[in-house]
Structure 1
Amino acid sequence: MTKRSLMLLLMLVATVTAFAQVRNVKGKVLDKNKQPIPGAHVLLKGSRIGSSTGINGDFSIKVSDANTTLIISMIGYKTKELAIGKQNEVVVTLEDENIQLEEAIVMGYGTKRSRESVVGAVEQISAKELKIDRVTESVDKMLEGRIAGVYIENTSGDPGTASINIQVRGQGALSKVSSSDIVSSSQPLIIIDGVPMNDASNPNMDKKFNNDVTQTNPLSLINPEDIETLTVLKDAATAAIYGANAANGVILITTKRGQSGKASFNISHQMSVGNIINEMKFLNTDQYVKLAIEAQTNAGVDLATATEKAGPTNINTNWYDLVTRQSQTSQTNLSVSGGAGSTTYRFSAGYNNTKTITLGNQLSRITSRLNLNTKLSEKTDFDLVFGFSMSDKDAFSIYGTAFAFKPNLSPYNADGTFNNNPPFDKIANPLAALAQNKNQKKDYYTNGSATLNYHFSKDLSIRSLFGVDYTNNRSYIFDSKKNAAGANSGGRVKDVYQMQFNWINSTSIEWNKQLAEKHNISALAGIELTDKKSNGLRATESKLPIEKLPIIGIGSDENTSAYASESSEGTLSYFSRLGYSYGGKYNVSINARRDASSIFGGDVQAELFGSIGATWNISKEDWFPKKYINYANVRASYGSTGNSRIGSYSARGTYNYSGSYVYNGMGGSRPSTAPNPALGWEKNYKLNLGADFSILKSKVNVSVDYYRNNIYDAIQSLYIALESGFSSVSANTSDMVNKGIELTIRTRNFDKEFKWRTNFNISSNSNKITRLSNNLDKLAQSGYTFTGLKVGKDVSGIYTARYAGVDPQTGTTLWYLKDGSITNDAKLANSIENRVYVGKASPDFFGGFTNDFEYKRVTLTIATTFNIGGHKAIPYNYLYMNSDGRQILIQNQSINQLNRWTTPGQITDVPKLSTDNYVGYGSTRYLYDLTNVCLKTISLSYRIPSEIAKKVLLENASFNFQISNLGYWYKDKKGGSGNGIAEYRYSFPEARQITFGLDLKF
């Protein structure tokens, strides 16, 4: 009995001791940038006890004193063993192994995923990559050539303007054929820290507003230095949770946050200078007078009269040089970040001042941003994000009119006053306009949010966000009666005010549960409310009594006019996401969203969108040959998204109120746009098949995707019988398809003391219109408009007459008719019946190639972009500088006109000059191949040794040098040594910039 009691006592003591030796260890897994790594596996060495990290990189695992070694692993990182001893809390930093999988991917609605667990097509750019283009004034320009499937079309070098078109996997909406057409937005949805941004062009503001002012690019109001990551959601699996606004893809911008620890101060300053790339060439006075006389005599004018009308030969004004200059940019950024206890913070401010290459055009911008994160209790987190920016722009755009003037005209009279004699009585002398007129634009922008997170447990949390996006801009234009701009109106002032205010309230609950060792289930469900309001006021006053006080209301009422517009819309949405992962090997994601919008009515007011996607991480199979292929993953997804960004009242119709609509002695109203109760949502059904793999010890990483986006019920203005009282109505008239292939190759060529990494991407998109209303083609009516829509053709198709060249015997212009015959009748050749499809604006292939070099404290980045295929017609105002003599007595001409036909038998593409020639018809003569390669950026930086930096109380410091837009190579050589696609491409020329900068941290 005594022996049994003793044995029982010993077993009990051993059991209690064993239990006493088991303890719970908490930890966090971070990458080299101190960012959390979700989905990492934590295993107790020699056992089957394991855990995985959550969204914030946190984990919890039970250990005993007999076994205190943890094994932490994650695809894309080197596996690490950590002996924790008696520690109860640990922080583990993993080193990168696979550059393709090194970051946590932002997925929206507060969710992050490890690269291996992401289901769908998504790409992310880090702050380090964005830093290459330090002096780029707009975030979207930084995307050019960076991400496969994202095409950036830049049409102007004017900073801050909405001249950039972003396409994610092709154009997702119909093109406008005429300026009055109503089509949905083709731009991606852009979200900053959970809050959607306003579109650059407000569809609720009609041409009375948009034609008067230059629209501001909202992304130019965001300081690139504040961005932590920029994520592009390209397929339905990643974007469908955003439903009705995600048809054209989604761009998620996450701003930088503070880290716990002492305060860290960062200051950077860059100075840039720049000159015009590919400067246009014009006739000098000798050349101009010779050609002006020739054009007149060819039209039957006698030599004496022609010589007199050609003007003097002793004046040689280079108008181009008079209105251009060397650009200058100064940019300063500072930030302070840190944290104490449960609170972290980051505050930043930036100032940018840019004087562009043309006089009267400059931009000043101030930005600031505050990110505050605090733990209100053990289970409650609170995040506050607030960004504010203000810009002030002198918005003169005299570049386009400077070359309109003949070289034998002087801007000044003999007494030094401005020359306002003909032709300056009709077109303002640009130097007089700069001195006497005003064109100013001010923008104020706020984007912010407050987010409350409550954690019921480690697995279950609820999140509520309230955010606002506010844009307020004012354009002020004053045209003095002292020059042609305001002479006919007796002096004129125009004041245009526009405002957009959006708020969003999104509440979601998220559950993430690790079951057993390999099963992980995640679920998200939420409700979202949005409200958008916009209004505008446009006032004009002429015959100003006092020009020194050019404001609205100073003159009489009969010389004052005003126009106002106001709109609002709201949405109610429910969204959900369900995910399952088996050991990171098999991943499935299902998304659903129901949107209801005030834009639509009746049975079409609400629409359901959704997606399903899956990945198979083949490299985690036991049989997979990891010796040869280090990582392999295949992806597939299918689902639907929508597009409802067409304006608040496209379905309901609008009325115009005006004092000119008089009834019974009072002002009245009349219908303005036709209602269409049946107008519904555009729908975009997206299929994506993709694969990712790594070889050569993860030194070569490849991603390839095939996609097909079927767009149904695209919205377009449909012409209707005038007896209805309207000329058109918005309707779901069309279908089209985008399909393409994307390839990205990332390599680590050298990775020791000398590092060399490359990033190459190439994409191809094919678009085809598959349905138009009643299968009727829609072509522009005017002679020099190239746009149109045809079934079976690209939505960016170009339609015009085919140029047949110049008759070598007579020097007359020739065109092909549709049947292939040749005519010299310009009007006939340019009739709608004879215009043919001659190409498309979108490229066949596009992409970028970036090389990053690093040796000790020196880094060098060389970035190039390329387009293959696609065409561009020269802007209309450039047409008149190639007028073949018609306009030569009114304005100067391109140097290309020197190649005109002069003698029988001569082969040239420029016809015989004559003031009787007609100008204004388009043809392939003015069409250029856009195939080009651009050496976009060369960036060099040197990091000062830390021991030297510390002597001057700095943590680190670096110098940087950068050249932007170094040069273009174009395939199309049309124009020869004169003006061609390189000179005609931009309505406002780009500048080649050289930048010197300094970064300090202390």
Structure 2
Amino acid sequence: MKFISGIQKINWLKIMRFSGTQLILILVFAGMSYARPGNAQINMEQRVNLNMHDATIASVLHRLEKLTDVKFVYSLNRVNVNRRIDVDVTNARLDSILEDVLIKNGIGYEVVSNRVVLTPGITNRTASLTGLMQAHDLHVQLQDVEVRGKVTDENGSPLAGVTLQVKGTNIGTTTDNQGNYVIHPLSANDTLVFSFIGYERQEIPIAGRSQINIQMHATATGLNQVVVVGYGTQRKVDLTGAISVINSNDIKDIPVGNASYIMQGKASGVAITEQTGAPGDYIAVRIRGVGTINNNDPLYIIDGVPTTNGINNISPDDIESINILKDAASAAIYGARASNGVVIITTKHGQAGKTKINFSDYTGVQARGHLIKMANTKEYVNAFNIAAKADGRQPIPLDMLDTLPDINWLKEILKPALISNTHLSISGGNEKNQYIISGTYFKQDGLITNSSYERFNIFSSLTLNPYKWITIGTNMNLAYSKTRQVGSSGDGYGVGNPGASVVRYALFRVPATPVYNSQGQFVDLPNPPTFFGDGYNPVAFAKSFDRSFNDYTTLGDAYLEFHPFEGFTLKTDVGTNLGINFYRQFFPTWGIDRHINSPNSLAQSVNNEFNYNFTNTLSYIFNLKKRHVFKILVGSEAIKDDIKTMSASRTNFVDQSPEFQYLDNGLANQLNGGNESHWGLFSLLGRIEYAYKDKFLLNFNMRRDGSSRLSLKNRWGNFYSGSAAWRLDKENFIKKIKQISLLKLRFSLGQLGNQNIGNYPYASLISGGFYYPFGGIPTEGYTITSKGNPEVKWETSTQTDIGLETGFYNNTLQLTIDYFIKNTSNMLLSIPEPSSAGASASSPTENAGKVKNNGLELQLSYQGNIGTKFKYDLSANFATLHNEVISLAGGKPIPGGRIDNNYYATLTAVGHPIGAFYLLVDDCIFQTPIDVITSAYQGPNIQPGDVKFKDLNNDGVVDQNDRTFVGSPIPKLTYGFTLSAVYKNFDLSIFLQGVYGNKIYNQVLTDIEGFYRPFNITKRIATKSWHGPGTSNTFPRLSWKGAINNKQPSTRFLEDGSYLRLKNIQIGYTLGNNITSKLKISSIRIFLSVQNLLTFTKYTGLDPEQYISNNALNDGDRAVGIDWGTYPSARTFTAGININF
């Protein structure tokens, strides 16, 4: 243990003055300090901070090259740079450091131009460069130089296949099986570039040498990669839990606004799905399945600040890494909030060195993809008349055809839209401070008019090191976003209903009705509605509906770290997540007679959420006899969350102009309201890590949480995990197998909690507005509207994980396999009570359910090259999932996914997945009257051409008792593939993502193929419907009377939701040094990208990728997979540029 002297002589005023001054100077002058011409002569008086222990002289010199502009030239045959030394200096002059590092170790040096030439003890300061080279056999030649050497790894073993290239040329070669190489012809002033998969790229000036031997170091993306875990970091190779890591290189330049979207297909066991394709809409993240019928969203940690509202307000350009904690071993440190998994986002930080400026920009156009083939006017009229003849109704006169338009309503509402993103960052610093500040503007217009999303971010990070035993830092993200919405999903279709779908309206609307009349006004209801239905004009609806969300968020933290002695760290962190949301919706009256949506209305609300966290941790790392390594972490955390909401609305605005759209101008239906909610959490936490010879690894986590959401009786809960790993590659019997570079077995077991159960479910809610008769006179009073249950406690999740991590051929080939079991118990349910308990009161919640998720995850990657110019990376991930309800209170199933007034498409029941589809089974089409008579009774007026259903209980009658479980919206398999390749200055990336084994209930088909009202219909039912025995066994007869039977919720409308999508393909070109050097620019890359280019699926709807769960009954995950006419994802084409100064 080494105690740093001088710790008591602290000038706190100086520290604070330093911090404020540095911050101001950084923000004001950072952009002025780049691209200055440098002095070719070395400044030996420049100051450096350096702290290295038990390091070779070579590594010290390499570090000095990183910290200064000095280049060291020496011959390995004459200068011993393998000697190990200790260096610990602060603000020391360069010449003083070289005196200690070189002269005191018998190595002389000469300063020649901008290089330091090392000599074996020669100290003649006036020697010429030529003399030095000759004296030390460096063989300086102007042209046709041949260089030989050997390349080894950190252990001195030869590396075969290392690529060497002369910088700025096409001259190159590779090392042989013994790590040796020969390269020529080249100049004495050339620079050799050494690169090898899994190792850091190195640039070595030849400086006249004829032999250059180098030692390559493993990159951070290999086993030594540092992974952010709960309240700390660990080396990837030391992990005993299941963590998926996504780095900034995996997510760059992808044209998406929500950072959650960039995780899709990148991590096994993590299902990412857009709720709809509308800009700024919710992204569903499900880690290892659906564990509850309540909230399944993971916990997000952004630079140590917890948030449950996702990461939509963070710019993807500011993200350095995303770590997904999937099992109990990695997530238990977050206790009561971790049962759904944890997503840790680390933003970018400044690095010591020259000021760097990065500018990136892309812009593009979005286009519609697959369209449902709808009937044209002629096909619609023909189908209508067939049905009219069958049902005895008046047909459409055929002479009207020449006067009717032929409108494709999907094309009318889905128009090309722009998307763009501009990002600028400035970063730099020195050993005392590092900083980065950036700004990002993102704008995405929607395919549908009046839908858009724009966001502006200002991000900054500052790290100060006034003394070597103290670190002060702050991270701050300021964001403003505006989301404009039109109806995009949901189960409502009344005008003004926020869930009403413009796409659904477009599918309803018959092609024989125009968009505008001759005066340029919107045509509202079709005329006559008897022939052409009563579907609203979707173009008018989209353009008239003004609905927006304006969000202001501040997310950041400030921390202080003390390192009083080696291995000891005390950290205090204060974080805040502040959000202000303004909601506004104005819906005017419109149409020829302005009677649609009468009266007009304006609704506004404001929601303020203030979340604070105060975290203190103490960690200590020590080892015993260099074999036993311990790392101990203890800490506490306090979280407080306050929400305040106010709302108001009015109707009947005489003037609908924007300048008059204020609440004061509404003349009727004045409504207002407001509420507040508060909750708090206090926690104690701890972790013990142990490693024996880097071979046997143990990890124990514990957290004790106390939440105000629960009663005093059940307020505190303990959560824990234990895990172990065995690195077999450290065993001698495995070391003999040279092909194996990593072989690790791990096991974890633990218990997590879920506190996303609402505020105070233990307390009953009393509300006013109820009337009681007293003496025959109604008198207003109060009643219990929500019953509490003081016995309510945490939902808990017990998780087990068994994993195998392997690496072959120096980890160029890696395979990770995990099998997990996730059991949720004490699931919160609302148990229905008899009416005698009080009809006005909702049922209390109880801990009365269990759910099991289990599956297998596989992550595979390979890095390779073909020759010296073509390099490629391949990666793939797969995850299976089995979801099953183990128990429910009383065993009574819970319906969900309402698709009609009294029909539900899903049922959550024991032995089946959450929200499984529960429907009648379609059994083809009745072909003859005999077929109808001899089959189970389905009701009166059944005729040939109607849908036949299976009588599953064999009682001779088809009714709701014949419904059965027919599939689940939860995919059985999720997967992703990524190919990255580099050839010379060109780069290519291809990303595919998909799901398999899930079902989608295509509810919109009930409307456009159910034939129950004069809405438009699909082309296939208009042209392929049954019209006689044997004509169709798929599509029923055209009849409104038959619709009573034919549109019943059944497997007729249930489809396979599996898909494989070419999610992104990008090609880029990096300009050569011969161009960038003239422009005084470090690098320029231009690229083209296409998002959602191809989709392979059997699903007939607009888009198989959807996660609708926002129906009017708030069924959540019990209503997933029902398509009400969902806003489709766009096919996006972008072009961009990335410039580094």
Give the shorter-chain TM-score range.
0.7 to 0.9
- C-alpha distance in 1, partners of 2:768/2:754? 30
- C-alpha distance in 2, partners of 1:508/1:583? 27
Matches within 5 A, 1:644-723: 644-658=755-769, 669-723=782-836
Structure 2 length-normalised TM: 0.75
Give the structure 1 partner of residue 1126 of structure 2. 987
- C-alpha distance in 1, partners of 2:715/2:425? 46
Give the structure 1 partner of residue 1012 of structure 2. 886
- C-alpha distance in 2, partners of 1:689/1:565? 46
- Match of 1:166, SS state, is strand
- Match of 2:857, SS state, is strand
Q: Which amino acid aligns with 2:579?
A: T
- 219, 230, 236: which one aligns with 1:108: 230
Give the structure 2 partner of residue 512 of structure 1. 621
Matches within 5 A, 1:749-898: 749-750=864-865, 752-780=868-896, 783-809=902-928, 810-819=944-953, 828=959, 831=960, 833-874=961-1002, 876-883=1003-1010, 885-887=1011-1013, 889-893=1014-1018, 895-898=1020-1023
- Match of 1:221, SS state, is coil
- C-alpha distance in 1, partners of 2:376/2:233? 62
Give the structure 2 partner of residue 443 of structure 1. 551
- 638, 642, 656: which one aligns with 1:533: 642
Give the structure 2 partner of residue 738 of structure 1. 853
- Match of 1:636, SS state, is strand
- Match of 1:295, SS state, is helix
In the alignment, structure 1 residue 229 sits paired with structure 2 residue 339: no
Q: Which amino acid aligns with 1:147?
A: A
- 354, 362, 367: which one aligns with 1:270: 362
C-alpha contact 1:405 1:892 (8 A) present in aligned 2:
no
Give the structure 1 partner of residue 508 of structure 2. 404
- C-alpha distance in 2, partners of 1:981/1:460? 52
Q: Which amino acid aligns with 2:457?
A: T
The verdict on how the C-alpha distance between 1:119 and 1:610 changes in structure 2, with shifts beyond 3 A counting, is same
Alignment deviations for residues 81-140 of structure 1 (CA, whole Å, 9 cap, x no partner): 9xxxxxxxxxx996337955252111121x111111112111111100111x52111122
- C-alpha distance in 1, partners of 2:472/2:824? 40
The verdict on how the C-alpha distance between 1:669 and 1:880 changes in structure 2, with shifts beyond 3 A counting, is same
Q: Which moved more, 1:396-405 or 1:452-461?
A: 396-405
In the alignment, structure 1 residue 555 sits paired with structure 2 residue 692: no
Q: Which moved more, 1:439-448 or 1:252-261?
A: 439-448
Alignment deviations for residues 517-576 of structure 1 (CA, whole Å, 9 cap, x no partner): 2221110101100011223223221122333312223234x5211232321110110000
- C-alpha distance in 2, partners of 1:188/1:815? 41
| C-alpha deviation, 1:778, in angstroms | 2.2
| C-alpha deviation, 1:450, in angstroms | 0.8
Give the structure 2 partner of residue 322 of structure 1. 412
In the alignment, structure 1 residue 958 sits paired with structure 2 residue 1085: yes
Q: Which has the larger radius of gyration?
A: 2
- Match of 1:290, SS state, is helix
| C-alpha deviation, 1:365, in angstroms | 1.4
C-alpha contact 1:258 1:337 (8 A) present in aligned 2:
yes
- C-alpha distance in 2, partners of 1:661/1:382? 63
Matches within 5 A, 1:136-151: 136-151=256-271
Give the structure 2 partner of residue 612 of structure 1. 722
C-alpha contact 1:505 1:529 (8 A) present in aligned 2:
yes
- C-alpha distance in 1, partners of 2:558/2:307? 16
- C-alpha distance in 2, partners of 1:143/1:567? 32
- C-alpha distance in 1, partners of 2:891/2:845? 16
- C-alpha distance in 2, partners of 1:906/1:790? 39
In the alignment, structure 1 residue 365 sits paired with structure 2 residue 469: no
Give the structure 2 partner of residue 126 of structure 1. 247
- Match of 1:409, SS state, is coil
Give the structure 2 partner of residue 415 of structure 1. 519
Give the structure 2 partner of residue 603 of structure 1. 713
C-alpha contact 1:655 1:670 (8 A) present in aligned 2:
yes
Alignment deviations for residues 898-934 of structure 1 (CA, whole Å, 9 cap, x no partner): 3211112223311111122227631111111122211
Q: Which amino acid aligns with 2:836?
A: E
C-alpha contact 2:230 2:331 (8 A) present in aligned 1:
no
| C-alpha deviation, 1:412, in angstroms | 2.2
- 333, 346, 354: which one aligns with 2:436: 346
Matches within 5 A, 1:457-536: 457-483=565-591, 487=596, 489-536=598-645
The verdict on how the C-alpha distance between 1:453 and 1:97 changes in structure 2, with shifts beyond 3 A counting, is closer
- Match of 1:296, SS state, is helix
| C-alpha deviation, 1:936, in angstroms | 1.2
The verdict on how the C-alpha distance between 1:50 and 1:579 changes in structure 2, with shifts beyond 3 A counting, is farther
Alignment deviations for residues 47-69 of structure 1 (CA, whole Å, 9 cap, x no partner): 99999xxxxxxxxxx99967999
C-alpha contact 1:779 1:787 (8 A) present in aligned 2:
yes
Q: Which amino acid aligns with 2:664?
A: G
- C-alpha distance in 2, partners of 1:283/1:620? 68
C-alpha contact 1:292 1:310 (8 A) present in aligned 2:
no
- 347, 354, 370: which one aligns with 1:255: 347
- C-alpha distance in 1, partners of 2:356/2:771? 63
- C-alpha distance in 2, partners of 1:990/1:24? 55
C-alpha contact 1:540 1:560 (8 A) present in aligned 2:
yes
Q: Which amino acid aligns with 1:607?
A: G
- C-alpha distance in 2, partners of 1:98/1:739? 32
Give the structure 2 partner of residue 1000 of structure 1. 1139
The verdict on how the C-alpha distance between 1:98 and 1:375 changes in structure 2, with shifts beyond 3 A counting, is closer
The verdict on how the C-alpha distance between 1:537 and 1:297 changes in structure 2, with shifts beyond 3 A counting, is farther
| C-alpha deviation, 1:748, in angstroms | 1.5
C-alpha contact 2:54 2:86 (8 A) present in aligned 1:
no
Q: Which amino acid aligns with 2:228?
A: V
Q: Which amino acid aligns with 1:901?
A: W
| C-alpha deviation, 1:649, in angstroms | 2.3
Alignment deviations for residues 335-362 of structure 1 (CA, whole Å, 9 cap, x no partner): 1111145111111111112122112212
C-alpha contact 2:362 2:1134 (8 A) present in aligned 1:
yes
- Match of 1:156, SS state, is coil
- 727, 736, 745: which one aligns with 1:634: 745
- C-alpha distance in 2, partners of 1:777/1:74? 65
Structure 1 length-normalised TM: 0.85
The verdict on how the C-alpha distance between 1:415 and 1:72 changes in structure 2, with shifts beyond 3 A counting, is closer
- C-alpha distance in 2, partners of 1:34/1:541? 65
Identity of aligned residues (%): 24
| C-alpha deviation, 1:603, in angstroms | 2.2
Give the structure 2 partner of residue 299 of structure 1. 391
| C-alpha deviation, 1:988, in angstroms | 0.7
- C-alpha distance in 2, partners of 1:941/1:980? 29
| C-alpha deviation, 1:225, in angstroms | 0.5
Alignment deviations for residues 428-479 of structure 1 (CA, whole Å, 9 cap, x no partner): 4333344544222212222111111111212111111111112222221112
Q: Which amino acid aligns with 2:914?
A: V
Q: Which amino acid aligns with 1:229?
A: S
- C-alpha distance in 1, partners of 2:926/2:630? 74
The verdict on how the C-alpha distance between 1:102 and 1:67 changes in structure 2, with shifts beyond 3 A counting, is farther
The verdict on how the C-alpha distance between 1:657 and 1:547 changes in structure 2, with shifts beyond 3 A counting, is farther
C-alpha contact 1:72 1:79 (8 A) present in aligned 2:
no
C-alpha contact 1:157 1:986 (8 A) present in aligned 2:
no
- C-alpha distance in 2, partners of 1:239/1:981? 32
| C-alpha deviation, 1:404, in angstroms | 1.9
The verdict on how the C-alpha distance between 1:48 and 1:668 changes in structure 2, with shifts beyond 3 A counting, is farther
- Match of 1:842, SS state, is coil
The verdict on how the C-alpha distance between 1:279 and 1:898 changes in structure 2, with shifts beyond 3 A counting, is same
